[in-house]
């Protein structure tokens, strides 16, 4: 029986054996609690026929639990110093493949076609480095990968923003961008004490289940996101003020903006955080004829 990687004693032994030192710039924090890892994997609802994509496997603690419960694991690791460690710790798991690449630059679609040709059920499961959480999640969604969803650990505050509802303090353009593609829920909170080294913040695990169709229908996706970002540029400002100052030639086109707000049934004095996805969709479509180049 292999001893689990994710215990304080085994983790320290592995790091000492390989003389590994943490790189702060890569946001490396390794989990040392097998129960929490198992609960993360539970939320991914994998079967022996599933494929798992992992980002930032570290020394393989989560990878090991994924390998036990899925048909195949493909892990992207940016830090080449971890490759010999992973080769060592994951030796008992022939169903794991590690690619030494920055996932933000990787062609994940091609990798999926090559590695998961006969697998229909695919999940991304990851303990994401906190400094690049949002770009990674957005890439996974915008690349339209054939995945069922994403279960990932990230900073608690970011998890709150992702799953926030209109009217709450955490709700913003990130909530909208992710809820446009997925059903987002925070499934567990993880204390900082279960990591080595300990991060400065508590973590949370979110589950994003991909929707068959985007949550709302819009004429121009890129413009829809532009409008939502503009609406939250300064949270204390009204939606009219934000759109006027943020959209190109907004001041000159203020009449059109007022007209579009009226058409979408949105009071100009409201703040961005009070609008739901449906309202933003109507507003973006009403604004589009006046701002399309």
Q: State the binding site for S-adenosyl-L-methionine.
A: 29, 31, 56, 77, 102, 127
Rg (CA), the chain: 21
Distances (CA, A) of 191 to 33, 180, 194, 203: 11, 29, 6, 6
73: β partners: 52, 96
**Distance from CA of residue 65 to its chain's centroid?**
20
User: To the nearest 10°, the Cα dihedral for 167, 168, 173, 178?
Assistant: -110
144 class by beta-carbon count within 10 Å (0-12 exposed, 13-18 middle, 19+ buried): exposed
- DSSP annotation of 56 reads -
Q: Which of 159, 83, 105 is nearest to 150 (CA)?
A: 159
Q: Could you tell me which residues are annotated as the binding site?
A: 29, 31, 56, 77, 102, 127
Taking every pair of C-alpha atoms in the chain, what is the biggest distance, in angstroms?
71
User: To the nearest 10°, the Cα dihedral for 127, 128, 129, 131?
Assistant: -150
Encoding tokens for residue 48? 């022996």
According to the 3-state scheme, what is the secondary structure of 68-97? HHCCEEEEECCCHHHHHHHHHHCCCCCCEE
């Amino acid at each position: 029986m292999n001893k689990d990687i994710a215990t304080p004693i085994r983790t320290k032994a592995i790091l000492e054996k390989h003389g590994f030192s943490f790189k702060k710039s890569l946001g490396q924090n390794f989990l040392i609690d097998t129960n929490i890892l198992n609960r993360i994997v539970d939320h991914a609802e994998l079967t022996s026929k599933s494929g798992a994509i992992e980002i930032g496997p570290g020394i393989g603690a989560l990878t090991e639990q994924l390998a036990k419960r899925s048909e195949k694991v493909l892990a992207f690791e940016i830090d080449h110093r971890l490759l010999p460690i992973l080769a060592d710790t994951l030796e008992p798991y022939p169903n794991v493949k590690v690619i030494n690449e920055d996932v933000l630059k990787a062609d994940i679609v091609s990798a999926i076609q090559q590695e998961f040709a006969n697998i229909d059920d695919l999940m991304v499961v990851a303990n994401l480095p906190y400094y690049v959480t949002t770009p990674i999640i957005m890439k996974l969604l915008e690349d339209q990968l054939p995945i069922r969803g994403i279960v990932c650990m990230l900073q608690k505050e970011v998890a709150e923003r992702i799953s926030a509802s209109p009217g709450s303090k955490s709700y913003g353009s990130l909530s909208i961008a992710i809820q446009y593609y997925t059903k987002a829920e925070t499934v567990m909170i993880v204390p900082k004490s279960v990591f080595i080294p300990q991060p400065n913040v508590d973590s949370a695990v979110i589950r994003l289940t991909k929707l068959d169709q985007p949550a709302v229908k819009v004429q121009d996706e890129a413009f829809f996101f532009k409008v939502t970002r503009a609406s939250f540029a300064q949270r204390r400002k009204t939606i009219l003020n934000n759109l006027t100052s943020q959209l190109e030639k907004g001041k000159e086109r203020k009449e059109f903006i007022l007209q579009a707000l009226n058409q979408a049934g949105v009071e100009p004095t409201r703040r961005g955080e009070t609008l739901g996805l449906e309202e933003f969709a109507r507003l973006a479509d009403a604004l589009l004829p006046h701002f399309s180049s």
